[in-house]
A and B are shown apart, each in its own frame.
Chain A
Amino acid sequence: MKRALLLLLLACVLSGAAFAQTVAKKKQPLPYEYGRVVIHNFSEKAGLAPVVFDHWLHRAKFTCRLCHVDIGFSMKAGATGIKASDNMNGYYCGACHNGKMISDTKKVFESCGKLMISQDWANCFRCHSLGKKVKPEYDFNHFTKNFPKGRFGNGVDWEKAKKDRLIRPVDFLEGISIQRKSISEQKDFGQGAKVEGRPDVVFGYTMETRQAFRGAGMEGRPDVIFSHEKHIVWNGCELCHPKIFKDVKKGASKYTMVDIFEGKSCGVCHTTVAFPLLDCQRCHIKPIQ
């Protein structure tokens, strides 16, 4: 009897621990933590804390395309393999954090500068800050206080903030970016005259799924309307095609919410940095007919 009770107690403790772990995994990040990336490829070997990178500040100032295409940062955390020498040579973080670039009338501090190593460790800790009490130069609440509110993620509607010109993300970096025509100048893209993929693409449920919804007395969610126009402003073309979305032909790929929640297709950005998947109504917007 005692043994049975003991086993029962053990089972309860183990399942409780497992439950706690699951809950911990599902914990939503705080608004200022959403999009945070910790980079720890080489830092600890060099005797420094891992780098903490906040997307919210950088996305307010630069487009995703500038950093993930022109500067070459990988879309997967830790996959870029940034070294201090890369930064010193003016690549990756060093492309902007060079002690020369001006942003918001301020000089952008130098990352991994050659002199810094021997003279100013305090500057290293501005990025190599995991587990350290470092006072950030920009306070999240102060920085975002006038921005339109979003329901999830950073609690900011970044798209509207851009539309309202509260933020003006830079898409060109001298010496790094290539001068090219703005997509907005290509009227044929918007009008769909020469282009097969129109700016708005509808991702619909299959007929069977829709019927199953109705059979269960539900309408189900509206179909998704995907706007190329909105995404191109931030991402350009090559950030998404073909690595994330490999098919051009409508309906060639099937997208499921399970895959998306696992970080595939839309989930590459919308589980990490862009507004999260909990915000259903921002994508499922086509009126049900």
Chain B
Amino acid sequence: MKTPRIIRIILALGAFAGFGTSSDWNPGIFRVGLAHAQEDWRKEFDDVCSKIQDAMVFTPDELRDFVGRCDKLKPQIEKLDESQKKVYLKRLQMCRDLYFFVLGSREKKQ
């Protein structure tokens, strides 16, 4: 008798969580989760693009890694609201292009 109740509670929590992430109605704990997800892209963006001034001193493998990280970030930024998306897609593109440009120049040299 106890087991089905536990299962019911787990299912209810699961449904609650699903609701929280898929609709505008967002209970506090899940909003925190979403906010973290949103902050994650920004953290990664800041981390990747903060090093572009050093692009000339990175190895080709490091540069490839940066380009890959930029590519992974793109779909996350595409999910943002219109204003944010417009600004950060452009910034990400500039950042990626610079790494790719330096990588290309290295590969040409080799």
Contact = CB atoms under 8 A, between A and B. Distances in A.
Interface stretch (B10-18, B21-29, B31-39, B89-97): B89-97
Nearest to A195: B56
B57 A194 contact: yes
Nearest to A180: B50
A91 B95 contact: no
A194 B53 contact: no
Q: Is the interface of A mostly helix, strand, loop or mixed?
A: loop
Contacts of A238: 52, 94-95, 97-98
- For this complex, into which size category does the number of interface residues on chain B fall? 20 to 34
A70 B94 CA distance: 10
Contacts of B95: 238
Contacts of B109: 196, 249
A259 interface: no
Contacts of A91: 83-84, 86-87
A85 interface: yes
B90 A243 contact: no
B105 A237 contact: no
Contacts of A189: 56
B49 interface: yes
A178 B86 contact: no
A186 B54 CA distance: 8
B91 A70 contact: yes
Contacts of A85: 82-83
- For this complex, into which size category does the number of interface residues on chain A fall? 20 to 34
Max chain A CB contacts within 10 Å: which of B45, B83, B105?
B83
A173 interface: no
A81 interface: yes
A95 to B, nearest CB: 9
Contacts of B73: none
A237 B55 contact: yes
Given A195-B56, A197-B56, A249 B94 contact: no
A243 B46 CA distance: 21
A248 B102 contact: yes
B19 interface: no
A135 interface: no
Nearest to A71: B87
Contacts of B101: 241-242, 246, 248
B5 interface: no
A179 B51 CA distance: 10
A113 interface: no
18 contacts: A81-B86, A85-B83, A89-B83, A91-B83, A178-B49, A181-B53, A189-B56, A194-B56, A195-B56, A195-B57, A196-B56, A236-B53, A238-B52, A238-B97, A241-B97, A242-B97, A242-B98, A249-B108
User: Which are the 7 A-B pairs with shortest beta-carbon distances?
Assistant: A248-B105, A242-B101, A72-B87, A86-B83, A238-B98, A238-B94, A178-B50
Interface of B: 45-46, 49-57, 81-84, 86-88, 90-91, 94-95, 97-98, 100-102, 104-105, 108-109
Interface of A: 69-72, 74, 81, 83, 85-86, 89, 91-92, 178-181, 183, 186, 188-189, 194-197, 236-239, 241-243, 246, 248-249
